[in-house]
Amino acid sequence: MGQAIYNILVFPGLFFLILFGWAAEFIDRKIYARGQKRVGPPWYQPVADFIKLAAKEDIVPEEASATSFKLMPLIAMASAVTAFFYIPLWTTEALFSFYGDIIVVMYLLTIPTLTFFLGGWYSRSLYSTIGAMRTLTQLFAYEVPLFVVILASALLANTWSLSEITKFYALHPHLWIFNLLGFGIGIIALLGKLEKGPFDIPEAETEIVAGSFTEYGGRLLAFFRLTLDIEVIVGASLLAAVFLPFGLNLTPAIGFVIYIIKVLFIVILLAVLRTILARFRIDQMLDFCWRYLAPLAFIQILINLLVKGLLLR
């Protein structure tokens, strides 16, 4: 029991996640800045931002429904952290797992996005409402390709459990090559999920101020931002577990280092992508996702079916 609480709250749970999330945010911002010839923030900037926001007063708009408005950041964070426990990190075994957890993780990862929507919707400001609508529209665009490519990988492993998937790829070490297309699609969908880079449409500063978060401030905003940091790690861990399943059967220490490298690799990839691309318009984003990403994701399924039929006889 004590062990479980330690696992949930400290390592590899909440505390580890927060620290790693801040580190990832720092790396993301530093790369973004250095890619633009700027000096960039010092290493403690994410922590300093958090403390600054947390020290500020919470303001709830008069017209907003106060309970929902305040509850959203907490729900967002709780679901992101919970999802993390079902993802195998540096071994083939997640903290918790059961048959079908892959579906649960995918849905848990959708919840933060829904809270962004609800938070924006409940704050009743015009900018927030538009931001909320965009969040939801965008969700429908990237969610399908993301689901499909992850399921494609699961299809090959013939299981519905993330831990089982990693076990399968540990047994068949070279099969992950066939999932590379899926990995690319996963990265792009993750950009959409994290509302980053070319897909920061729901928060487009020059159009709708801060989108869903316009009315948020103080501790509530601090929690939303922390959630986004954590979501980066959870999303990257998920992609790493599903698409980059190597170095899992080694000693925990080396496995841990490899895991960190994998996640940071994804974080850096996301940072570079957001540096080199201009923001899409919401209609262009939908168009792009449905016209290119979704068909490619189905091609991934096709590939995996073929591989399964031909190689895994």
- Interface with other proteins (CB under 8 A): 31, 33-40, 126-127, 130, 133, 198, 200-201, 204-209, 272-273, 275-284
Nearest to other proteins of 169, 288 (CB atom): 288
CB 225 to other proteins: min, Å: 18
CB 6 to other proteins: min, Å: 39
Nearest to other proteins of 278, 310 (CB atom): 278
CB 198 to other proteins: min, Å: 6
Residue 198, preceding peptide bond in cis (omega within 30° of 0): no
Nearest to other proteins of 2, 62 (CB atom): 62
CB 196 to other proteins: min, Å: 11
Nearest to other proteins of 134, 167 (CB atom): 134
What sign for the dihedral angle of Cα 24, 28, 31, 37? Answer: negative
Nearest to other proteins of 164, 200 (CB atom): 200
CB 149 to other proteins: min, Å: 20
